Amino acid sequence: MSVTTIDAAQKKPAASASPGSKMQGGLLDPKMLWKSLPSAVIKLDPRSLWRNPVMFIVELGAVWSTVLAIADPTWFGWLIVIWLWLTVVFANLAEAVAEGRGKAQAESLRKTKTSTMARRLVDWQPGGRAHEEEVAAPLLQQGDVVVVEAGQVIPGDGDVVEGIASVDESAITGESAPVIRESGGDRSAVTGGTTVLSDRIVVRITQKPGESFIDRMISLVEGANRQKTPNEIALNILLASLTIIFVFAVATLQPLAIYSKMNNPGVPDNLALNGNGVTGIVMVSLLVCLIPTTIGALLSAIGIAGMDRLVQRNVLAMSGRAVEAAGDVNTLLLDKTGTITLGNRQAAAFVPLDGVTEAQLADAAQLSSLADETPEGRSIVVFAKQQYGLRARTPGELAHAHWIEFSATTRMSGVDLRDGSDEHQLRKGAAASVAEWVRSHGVDVPTQLGDVVDGISAAGGTPLAVGEVHNGTARMLGVIHLKDVVKQGMRERFDEMRRMGIRTVMITGDNPLTAKAIADEAGVDDFLAEATPEDKMALIKKEQAGGKLVAMTGDGTNDAPALAQADVGVAMNSGTSAAKEAGNMVDLDSDPTKLIEIVEIGKQLLITRGALTTFSIANDIAKYFAIIPALFVGLFPGLDLLNIMRLHSPQSAILSAVIFNALVIVALIPLALRGVRYTPSSASKLLSRNLSIYGLGGIIAPFIGIKLIDLVVQLFPGM
């Protein structure tokens, strides 16, 4: 797998801003809240709400309470009814806000879909001429061939089958710098809605009508095709089971209350407890407060927000399952070039031979590289300037110089300087080529050169020799050590992966010696050298056979089998259609290092869900101590020991608990959308943090919140 270095996306920060990604990650925008309110009300439709068993039970309870309040109207009853309905609306609001953020992003994507006309070629053959007809872009069929020239919009997703062009993909990626798309290789895929800036290309359409890349993006970010993930389904089943258990638990309170009331006739009746036991509205209130409404209300929003965070980073996840799988990844397969390393070999050291100083070698290396426009040649000039204080001279400054540009044939670059009778020739290039050039002037090459070259090669570097001929006398000056530079901060990121329990494997086509040197410097756990597509597939299957989840990146057709086999396959948008179809995520920025961020987002999704589940269950336990003692303390005086909040009355206790139960959902919406901050640590530490922060917080918050609400409620008469 090779990663091209001419795409502008390689040069941009990983978390670039796409058109729809400028929204704040988790802050609750009042405008968005207000816009989402109608959608939250629409979601009260039972046909929509039944998919959330917990909130469906709450809605049924609200309907039943409304009927009871109409039959026997009281201020207490109607206040309970209002807050029960608000509980359902607030739960829907969390999902509506999350979906609203996605719809805002989708709207910006829709702007890229214009009424484009396509120039379809009939009976096109490579290199030949074909009849051209103009058709509307939506009418294009899979397999059609179209021609697109400078200034025109590409009418649909496809592969370039002829030509090369500069393409503006800012409408999709948000990156203003153009990218190169050409026939053949791994940079042939183009996306509908992008604009050709130069030249002419012929594109074979690969999409079906209505299934373009933008169509799928819009559908996915809107949440229309979001399927519940396996963990989400399992948690829904758990919440539904807990709800059923609490239904029976609350139901048993009724005969207990009737029996206790009969044996304690002196206890006065009130709006919560009378001779018929617990009133119907109070029964519903008890059930709603004790079932896990908090996580039930936020569960869907957490999943949608996880997809949203990926979209903000210009990553399109084809399913929620892929996002969740990213959080459970055990093994990360990373390409070396462009991912772990910068991709271009750069000068790292000058090694002079005996009798030559480093300063002399640096000066000769810089001069002989001025006509070398390759990245390696540029790096030598810069390295000599930075490390040895040599001014970056230009060919124009040396009037009597004859410059020899780098050539793949000679494998050398250099300069011939003449100042009167003084002649000075310098050459820099492959060690064998420069050595042969020195020998051609009748001078033997010292054995020290071979030792230095072999040492650099063994360390995983690339040696370039420097030689000179001064007034007819030739000699070798030394060797330039080029190395594929590891990106800054990669070792720290791999250390984080290790703390997360993730094994990192570097994949490269380099020989084992070079691969080991880079792997040791980067700090990866393992490497696969001289990798072929079959080797990648075999490695993935081996890891999966051990019960591990594997993630990898790819951009070429040869990566498609491995991307399809991996549990999380991230295809580069600059790659082929085959790669994008095989992966379950597409990185619009074509930045291979983003795989690390994707794993972190997946982890954050799982941690957020776990943290809020912990808070919700702890929250429900605390509400027991708020409601049950206040409700039954008249019948069982011994419960007064548990009435630690000293709530004003049974009515105010129940109303305060119902109000708190509704308000805590709204309070947690920003956290559900933003996600719990993830820091790499072991599973045991994460569990301890969840219990200490969200577990303990879930127990303490209701005591404080319900007591404060009770102080306000008791100000009203009849409470």
In the chain, what percentage of residues exceed pLDDT 90? 8
Residue with tokens 């399913």: 319
Span 258-285, average pLDDT = 67
Check pLDDT > 50 for residue 172: yes
Specify the pLDDT at position 7: 32
Q: What is the band of 10 on the pLDDT scale with cuts at 50, 70, 90?
A: very low
Find the farthest-apart pair of alpha carbons in the chain and give their distance in angstroms, rounded: 126
Span 226-241, average pLDDT = 75
Span 75-86, average pLDDT = 90
Residue with tokens 């020899």: 404
Specify the pLDDT at position 500: 77
Lowest mean pLDDT among 23-27, 74-78, 329-333, 712-716: 23-27
For residue 227, the Cα-to-chain-centroid distance in whole angstroms is: 18
Residue with tokens 């050709």: 196
Check pLDDT > 50 for residue 125: yes
Check pLDDT > 60 for residue 312: yes
- What single letter denotes the amino acid at residue 550? V
| Rounded CA separation 164/303 (Å) | 41
Span 621-629, average pLDDT = 76
Digit-coded pLDDT (tens) for 340-380: 777 667 888 899 998 888 889 998 998 888 888 877 888 88
Number of H helices, E strands in the chain: 23, 23
C-alpha distances (whole Å) from 217 to each of 66, 190, 315, 408, 556 are: 42, 15, 10, 44, 21
Class of residue 368 by CB neighbours under 10 A (exposed 0-12, middle 13-18, buried 19+): buried
Specify the pLDDT at position 598: 86
Specify the pLDDT at position 85: 94
Binding residues: 372, 376, 406-413, 428, 555, 559
Take residue 454 and report the two structure tokens written for it.
Answer: 């072999």
Which secondary-structure segment (H or E) carries 568? strand 568-572
C-alpha distances (whole Å) from 599 to each of 552, 558, 646, 669 are: 11, 24, 47, 23
Q: What is the band of 171 on the pLDDT scale with cuts at 50, 70, 90?
A: low
Binding residues for Mg(2+): 555, 559
**More reliable by pLDDT, 186 or 193:** 193
The candidate with the shortest Cα–Cα distance to 291, out of 251, 346, 351, 320, is 251
Lowest mean pLDDT among 162-166, 193-197, 261-265, 600-604: 261-265
Per the CB < 8 A criterion, the answer to whether 203 and 154 are in contact is yes
Lowest mean pLDDT among 89-93, 537-541, 620-624, 710-714: 620-624
Span 83-107, average pLDDT = 76
Check pLDDT > 70 for residue 224: no
In this structure, the number of other CB atoms found within 10 A of the CB of residue 711 comes to: 13
Lowest mean pLDDT among 28-32, 192-196, 648-652: 28-32
Digit-coded pLDDT (tens) for 134-153: 888 778 888 888 999 888 88
| Rounded CA separation 147/167 (Å) | 14
The CATH code for residues 342-485 is 3.40.1110.10
| pTM of the complete model | 0.63
Q: What is the band of 16 on the pLDDT scale with cuts at 50, 70, 90?
A: very low
Specify the pLDDT at position 479: 93
Q: Average model confidence (pLDDT) for the chain?
A: 78
Evaluate whether 118-222 and 315-340+487-588 have a shared fold. Answer: no
| Rounded CA separation 466/415 (Å) | 12
Specify the pLDDT at position 377: 85
DSSP state at residue 574:
T
Q: Is 591 a catalytic residue?
A: no
Q: Where are the alpha helices (DSSP H) in 633-678?
A: 650-674
Q: What is the band of 215 on the pLDDT scale with cuts at 50, 70, 90?
A: low
Q: Quick one: 315-340+487-588 is in which CATH superfamily? A: HAD superfamily/HAD-like (3.40.50.1000)
Check pLDDT > 70 for residue 212: no
Check pLDDT > 60 for residue 22: no
Digit-coded pLDDT (tens) for 440-466: 988 888 989 989 988 888 777 788 999
Digit-coded pLDDT (tens) for 113-123: 555 788 888 88
Residue 581 bridge partners (DSSP): none
Greatest mean pLDDT among 6-15, 275-284, 586-595 = 586-595
The candidate with the shortest Cα–Cα distance to 719, out of 57, 20, 75, is 75
- The CATH number for 118-222, chosen from 3.30.70.141, 2.70.150.10, 3.30.465.10, 2.60.40.10, is 2.70.150.10
Per the CB < 8 A criterion, the answer to whether 577 and 189 are in contact is yes
Span 486-495, average pLDDT = 81
Q: List the chain domain ranges.
A: 30-100+225-308+601-714, 118-222, 315-340+487-588, 342-485
Q: Which one is catalytic: 7, 168, 186, 335?
A: 335
Per the CB < 8 A criterion, the answer to whether 213 and 233 are in contact is no
Task: Indicate the Cα dihedral angle 666, 667, 670, 676, nearest 10°.
Answer: -130
Specify the pLDDT at position 547: 85
Per the CB < 8 A criterion, the answer to whether 10 and 338 are in contact is yes
Per the CB < 8 A criterion, the answer to whether 49 and 55 are in contact is yes
Residue with tokens 């000679």: 410
- What single letter denotes the amino acid at residue 16? S
Specify the pLDDT at position 663: 92
